[in-house]
Amino acid sequence: MINWAGSQHALSEGFKTAGVYEAAFDASRIVIRVASTNLLLDFEMTKKMLLVK
């Protein structure tokens, strides 16, 4: 399981520079709201994707 707390800030800063004004994280999904289109992109992540070796 990834500990998002350590990387959330860096990810949020990266999203801001990419025009994303809102990002929410938890262990199973990443929700990104894009400012330019106001579209909500919801990426469901599997355990396989979350595992980092």
H or E segment to which residue 3 belongs: none
Check if the beta carbon of residue 1 is closer than 8 Å to that of residue 27.
yes
CA geometry: angle at 46 spanning 52 and 18, to 5°? 75
Residue with tokens 């990834």: 2
Q: What is the model's pLDDT at position 25?
A: 55
Per-10-residue mean pLDDT, the chain, length 53: 50 56 54 50 51 53
